[in-house]
Amino acid sequence: MLNNWEKKEKPIQGMMGMGGGATGHLVGGGSGIIATGGTETLVDGDIVHAFYTTGDSPFQVFSPVTVRYLVLAGGGGGGGRHGGGGGAGGMLQSTTQVLTSGNYTIRVGAGGPGATTDVNGSNGGFSRILRSGGGVDIVATGGGGGGTYAGGGCPPGQPGGSGGGGGHQPSVGAGGISGQGNSGGAGASNEGGGGGGKGSAGQSASGDNYGGGGGNGIPDNILGTNYWWAGGGGGGGWNQVGGPGGRGGGGGGGRGAGNPGAPGGADAINDSPAKNGVGGYSGNVRGGHAPANSGGGGGGSGQRDHESYSGQGGNGGPGIVVIRYAA
């Protein structure tokens, strides 16, 4: 979450004497509450309700309001052993959505776990704004898990909001959903393809040369800071270079044979060194984990030079839902 607030981006506090509390936003000089739910902040005079925790949370609207929103699903996990990068979670935005009075359920999708054996990474969970009784149902689809080697089976990346990258050839990348994300890149000999991002498709790998880079996400300043969101995970390498994570939190690809892993994507919320891929011989050859609430895809695993060849794919980043409107 955001820990260091600037003056323009501070929590709503001390409203009890105005007819509302820290969980209710007031309008008209204290004459009524528009909505309650989530973590509420003031950003440049607007009210922001941010939902960071995975699972369902309540949101109540008391007066009809036109909102700007960002709905971002969880990113897919990276594949194991020559693994493809996970696809970013599907991302939806609007500046003209009308929320009528009523009770809503906000769902924040979890990130898909990275593979721990020679299997695909798991898909991320969906995120949603749902009005009880109908009228509003906005759903972003979780990112697709990355493909893998699997002892010659070479299963492809999985479809999702953005598609997962393919693993060792002939594993191919999967498609994304139009308006939510992009396709993952194809795998190649010993290298995984990059997962798709919101802004661009994942890069295909080059056989015995490099893993594919994750597709880039896009910027959005709905929280007051211009973060990048929904970058795809980079594909894993063997002796060769793993693919970098896409800008916006994509995890970097892992790499075997004692070489360093690839860097994770920059400029995401909750940025963390864990986004970088990890390389090594018999140790933890791991794809990078996408940061929390970034919706980024996890990095694909490299291959360990060891009797147990499989490394670990990086975990996809959980999503986020943000609703913003004028005070």
- Tell me the two tokens of residue 105: 């359920």
Tell me the pLDDT band of 15, cut-offs 50, 70 and 90: very low
Q: 154 or 195: whose pLDDT is higher?
A: 195
Residue 56 has pLDDT above 70, yes or no: yes
* The residue count for the chain: 327
Q: Would you say 70 and 319 are in contact if contact means Cβ atoms under 8 Å apart? A: no
Q: By three-state DSSP, how is residue 290 classified?
A: coil
Residue 48 has pLDDT above 90, yes or no: yes
Give this prediction's pTM: 0.91
Residues in CB range of 133: below 8 A, 6 or more apart: 102
Q: Would you say 300 and 235 are in contact if contact means Cβ atoms under 8 Å apart? A: yes
Which DSSP string do the residues of 92-142 spell out, in sequence order?
EEEEEEEEPSEEEEEEEPPPPPPPSSSSPPPPPPPEEEEETTSS-EEEEPP
Tell me the pLDDT band of 306, cut-offs 50, 70 and 90: low
Q: Which residues pair with 138 in a beta bridge?
A: 129
Q: How many other CB atoms are there within 10 angstroms of residue 295's CB atom?
A: 46
What's the average model confidence in pLDDT over 70-86?
A: 96
